[in-house]
Amino acid sequence: MLLYLRLIKLYLTMPYTTAPIEGLWIFEPRLFHDERGYFYESFNARTFEEATGFSRPFVQDNHSFSHYGVLRGLHCQLPPNDQSKLVRVVQGVVYDVALDLRKNSPTYGQYFGIELSSENKKQFFIPTGFAHGFVVLSETAELLYKCDNFYAPSSEAGVIYNDATANIDWLIPPQDIKLSPKDLLLKSIAETGLYF
């Protein structure tokens, strides 16, 4: 019986893999299909902590809807209101990016990007110390993300999407990118000296 329970736990556990930049994690849940459709566990605090070592509770869930070409980012909040995020897409496809802004990191100023979609069900964990952004690759997309700190307008910060140091390939023609007036005002890493 004990072996059976262990096998069930192993089967239910969401697989976790590290990204090329230390601290970033990719989650790919296991789906259980039958003739009715499918079921999957999208979040489990115990297995999440076991895999990542991250134990702060998530306190806010955000949901955004965007059209093709909309680029939101690169955003972060400064301490003491800095945020870790667990991001997933429930409709459509986005290219999701984390930019390393940790002062003593060997990958400071570098980014990692991943395609998140309603089809692949992947999730992306971005801890504090990173700026986050995404661009919509499909006609529309809905993105959900958990945060471990509350939104604090006074702590808002960010990096311009076309920062020369990061040199992010957003996977769509530059002329298709749509930014908010606020995001157009963001500065480069060199101009802000932004770090955690």
Give Dmax (Cα) for the chain: 61
As a 3-state breakdown, the chain gives helix, strand, coil percent values, each rounded to 5, of 15, 35, 45
Tell me: pLDDT of 10 over 60: no
- Which candidate, 124, 53, 128, 144, places its Cα nearest to that of 83? 128
Backbone φ, ψ for residue 133 (5° rounding): -155, 165
Residues 86, 127: Cα–Cα separation, whole Å: 8
For the chain, domains (ranges, CATH) are 54-192 (2.60.120.10)
Residues 89, 72: Cα–Cα separation, whole Å: 14
- Which candidate, 179, 186, 185, 193, places its Cα nearest to that of 109? 193
Residue of 68, 75, 132, 151 marked active site: 75
Tens of pLDDT, residues 88-108: 999 999 999 999 999 999 999
Residue of 95, 111, 132, 145 marked active site: 145
Residues 110, 32: Cα–Cα separation, whole Å: 36
Tens of pLDDT, residues 106-125: 999 999 999 999 999 999 99
Backbone φ, ψ for residue 3 (5° rounding): -60, -40
DSSP character at residue 70? B
Residues 97, 178: Cα–Cα separation, whole Å: 16
pLDDT class for 12, splitting at 50, 70, 90? low
pLDDT class for 4, splitting at 50, 70, 90? very low
Tell me: pLDDT of 19 over 70: yes
Residue 171 has which token pair? 């996977």
Tens of pLDDT, residues 38-72: 888 888 899 889 989 999 999 999 999 999 999 99
Q: Is 75 assigned a catalytic role?
A: yes
